[in-house]
Amino acid sequence: MKPDDLDPQRAWPFLVVRRGVPLGLALLGLATALLHPGGRGWYLLFAMACFAEVAPTFRRGESYLRNRRAIIRWDGLWVFALRPAARMIGREGAWIESFCAWNNLKVTQAFRARPARRALVLLPHCIQMARCKAKVLEDLAACHRCGLCPVGDYLQAGLLDRWDTRIANRSHKAYREAREFRPDLIVAVSCADRLLKGLLRLPEVPVYAIALHLPHGMCVDTSFQVSRLQAAMEALVEPKAEEGDKVRPLRRGGIA
């Protein structure tokens, strides 16, 4: 997988299927209703159901966020329904990536107008160099910053001080961290299959997905574009308040 495979502009395969199939069936139902007056009511009902099926894909902004749980779960059914067909033609990975890119497009549309106030960055442990002994799972700042893996790049860019970040070696730990933190937005880095599982396991929390690059296979010395993560956070998240900005003067009326 290339590092930019989940760019929102790459959502078109999922979008073509998700919108194209219901719309095509709806038009077929309308045409059949015109040609066969005897069953016109049933054909029109079928066409209306198809239009209703495609309607959620046009939700944006606040409307999308309010209905995200149902939308993601329903879109997930489309992903799993057509996954075997994609596997048969050797495009399973591309199909999953397209769905994740579609998710990124909707999340970007929702948060560009009103950036998230409370965001969480989730990183996988496999971005740490396999032979490195730094205990980054206990404390991300324990990284030696040697520049040989993305952990050091992330710290070198000063991103740990700007945004709340967690690194986990198991998916269930990442889910637990997310639920305990209760963010408005998650920016998650992982491989496509685990990103798909995460989107469906946490449908109530908007997630911007960033794909891992796997030069040595799954879960070994993986990497990602730190600049891509930084750009996403700066576009979708309010700047974190400085410590000095959190100080507020006492109200005189509250002093005895």
Domains of the chain, start order: 11-95 (no CATH), 115-240 (3.40.50)
Q: What is the pLDDT of residues 38-79, one digit of tens each?
A: 888 999 999 999 999 999 999 998 999 999 999 999 999 999
CA distances 193 to 17, 45, 133, 244, Å, are 20, 37, 27, 42
Both structure tokens of 202: 């946490």
Q: pLDDT tier at 252 (50, 70, 90 boundaries)? A: very low
> Which stretch of DSSP H or E encloses residue 37?
none
Asked if residues 10 and 97 have their Cβ atoms less than 8 Å apart, the reply is: yes
Please report the DSSP string for 188-225 in residue order: EEE-HHHHHHHHHH-TTS-EEEEEPB-TTSTTSS-B--
Both structure tokens of 23: 């719309």
Per DSSP, 182 falls in state -
Distance CA 212, CA 236 (A): 20
- SS3 for 24? helix
Q: What is the pLDDT of residues 171-193, one digit of tens each?
A: 888 888 888 889 999 999 988 88
Distance CA 129, CA 126 (A): 7
